[in-house]
Amino acid sequence: MSTETFGKWYREDRLPHIFCTGCGNGTVMNCTIKAVDAMGWEIDDTIFVSGIGCSSRAPGYISTDSLHTTHGRALAFATGVKMANPDLHVVVFTGDGDLAAIGGNHFIHACRRNIDLTVICMNNMIYGMTGGQGSPCTPVGKISTTTPYGAAEPAFDLTELAVAAGANYAARWTSYHVAELIKAIRAGLETPGFSFIEALVQCPTAYGRRNKFRQVGEQVEYMRSHAMLLQKKRRLEEQGKDVPDDMFTVGEFVRRYRPALGVRK
């Protein structure tokens, strides 16, 4: 994790990127690159794949071969890349709308196949690129342009979904917990089979602004103060104590070694 090798992963000629001021996607990119760099992978044998949305613009700023595909289909393209050449390390950037809405089917099937991909989902709980419409991960009651009276539908818990669908590794952190996020991504990269890392990110422009987070820092502070470690939540439940409603769980949800697809034997 030296400073010198960090910069080489970015296409310096393309920065600054298009993300809004304070967007957490850039932080998740940093963490991913730190983890990939720490794995000792080379730029030329790593592939970044993404779909459509804010998160999916990330591979365009990374020096490796990268595939910016159609909306929701990143996992399908990544499956093709990985199966056709298992020597390549394939990392997928995706967002909550891309992965859970239009790409939901590809997501559960990639988990089921347990194909050797690492998927990093930047969950900003909103469709950011189209201007802030409700996504399957918008929490109940939150305001977006298509849920002007508050989101009425329950949100997906993507990490639990990955666990249930059969992923070998699943973890959730936020763009505030950078050190933990790097460790989780590293663990995901190391684990053969499907690894899913959900990174909750702040979206000050499309989400925070409509939901009482007036400054970038306020939403980051919310993520810091409302994150509850999975172990703590389980302990509270064992003790029969109440888990506060407004807390979300973070941590490593599963790490297992089921047979995986697309691993070079």
Partner 1 sequence: MRLVIDERRCKGCNLCTTVCPYHIFQEGRHLNERGIAIPVLDRPERCTNCRLRRLYGRQLCGACQLICPDQAIYWEEDDPYAAEKVVIEY
Partner 2 sequence: MTTLEFMQGNAACCEGALAAGCTFFGGYPITPSTEIAEQMALKMPKRGGVFIQMEDEIASIGAVIGASWTGARAMTATSGPGFSLMMENLGYAVMTETPCVVVNIQRGGPSTGQPTMSAQGDMLQCRFGSHGDISTIALVPSTVQEMFDLTVKAFNLADRFRVPAFLMSDETIGHMREKISIPDSVEIIPRKEPKPGMLIYEAEEDMVPGFPTFGKGYRAHITGLTHNERGYPEATNPELHEALVRRLVDKVESRRHEIADYDAVNTDAETVFITYGPSTRTVRQVLHDHPDETIGHLNLRIVWPFPEDTLKLFPNAKTFIVPELNLGQMAREIERHVTGQRVISMGRLGGTIHTPAELYDKVQEVA
| Contact status: 24 vs partner 1 (CB under 8 A) | yes
Q: CB burial class (10 A; 0-12, 13-18, 19+) of residue 179?
A: exposed
Q: Please, what is the minimum distance in Å from the beta carbon of residue 241 to partner 1?
A: 31
| Contact status: 246 vs partner 2 (CB under 8 A) | no
For residue 127, the 8-state DSSP code is: B
| 59 in Cβ contact with 49 (< 8 Å) | yes
Sign of CA dihedral 163, 207, 132, 54: negative
Q: Please, what is the minimum distance in Å from the beta carbon of residue 158 to partner 2?
A: 18
Region 118-147 residues binding partner 2, contact defined as CB under 8 A: none
- Amino acid 168 reads N
Region 5-34 residues binding partner 2, contact defined as CB under 8 A: 11, 14
Interface mask toward partner 1 for 215-234; x: CB under 8 A:
xxx--xx-------------
| Contact status: 187 vs partner 1 (CB under 8 A) | no
Q: How many CB atoms lie within 10 A of CB 259?
A: 9
Angstrom distance (rounded) from CA 4 to CA 45: 19
Angstrom distance (rounded) from CA 21 to CA 34: 22
Q: Please, what is the minimum distance in Å from the beta carbon of residue 42 to partner 1?
A: 20
Binding site for partner 1 (CB under 8 A): 1-3, 6-7, 10, 15-17, 19-27, 29-31, 34, 175-176, 178-179, 182, 204, 215-217, 220-221
